[in-house]
Amino acid sequence: MKPYVLGIDIGGTNTVFGIVDARGNVIASSSIKTGKHANFDDYLEDLYTEATRLIEANDATDKIQGIGIGAPNANYYTGKIENAVNLPWPNLDLADIVSEKFGIPVAITNDANAAALGEMTYGVARGLKDFIMITLGTGIGSGIVVNGQMVYGHDGLAGELGHIIIKRNNGRLCGCGRTGCLEAYCSATGVARTAREFLEARSEPSLLRNLPIESITSKDVYDAAMNGDKLAKDIFEYTGTILGESFADMMAFSSPQAFILFGGLAKSGELLLRPLREAMEKNMLNCYKGKAKVLLSELKEADAAVLGASALGWEAK
């Protein structure tokens, strides 16, 4: 058996890929920018060049058995990306195109599903049979595991909890075209939007006022909060509360043992987790109270998604 697979995680901002062995060791990894390629052919050429360079540098030429890809709205059953709102190319026959380019079998799944597979195999979800993985990045993704099985739904597109509507009236416009989605409030971009709203609605001093308002990022908000900025702390309070209320609703669906947070925003620690846990417990049906943990991914940034995607690589045929 050839000893390696290539795991690829396509995010809205970056694409991370790695060579993974049968024991789940990431032998080497690299990345390219996703968003700068409006044309998919250009993106694929960049990915192929960089991945080939990585493969050759690690003596893995002709040793890659399969490629696994995690990407937004990637359908495990059809091999296609369908209506991905956070990618420059929302509809694509991804598995076939990449397989033809590399000459290697490809299997794909939703990026959050890939992260959940990685976490279940190598991370904090080892031994858990019921959990929900929430990826807090450019958007919000989710991977739902019930009784040890990934939930794909009848069409391969289950698990879009970032698009549950948390504000029915006058909600923010989401990238999906609807209004009031969780993603519009609790993703990294949602946090930046909250910052702009708070700065315009409130008059108090804030470190964030030293920055051009349109270029504020969630990292800026985190840095300000860690420096004691009250407005920035309130932004995390607002974000964590909405997320916790949503988790309370998700409990009623599959009663998970844990919610596992992954992605840049998850690094905010107690700034986000304290209001999240409080709101979750406060809004939860009594029979679920105290039963679900909120855990942070144990795997290095992007490793969960790359490892999860690589797990699909062994299945690719």
User: In terms of domains, do 156 and 234 share one?
Assistant: yes
Confidence class for position 301, pLDDT limits 50, 70, 90: low
The domain spanning residue 288 has which CATH number? 3.30.420.40
User: In terms of domains, do 245 and 269 share one?
Assistant: yes
Give the domain range for residue 251: 127-296
Distance in angstroms (rounded) separating the CA atoms of residues 241 and 253: 19
φ, ψ for residue 241 (rounded to 5)? -65, -45
pLDDT tens, residue by residue, 227-286: 999 999 999 999 999 999 999 999 999 999 999 999 889 999 999 999 999 999 999 999
Instruction: Identify any residues that bridge with 17 across adjacent strands, giving them in sequence order.
Output: 8, 30
User: In terms of domains, do 19 and 108 share one?
Assistant: yes
User: In terms of domains, do 64 and 151 share one?
Assistant: no
User: In terms of domains, do 286 and 306 share one?
Assistant: no
Task: Write down the pTM of the prediction.
Answer: 0.85
Distance in angstroms (rounded) separating the CA atoms of residues 221 and 210: 12
User: In terms of domains, do 52 and 182 share one?
Assistant: no
User: In terms of domains, do 83 and 134 share one?
Assistant: no
DSSP string, 143-207: EEEETTEE---TTS----GGGSBS--SSPPBPTTS-BSBTHHHHSHHHHHHHHHHHHHH--S--G
User: In terms of domains, do 195 and 173 share one?
Assistant: yes
Exposure of 158 in the CB half-sphere (CA atoms within 13 A)? 16
User: In terms of domains, do 100 and 158 share one?
Assistant: no
pLDDT attached to residue 317: 63
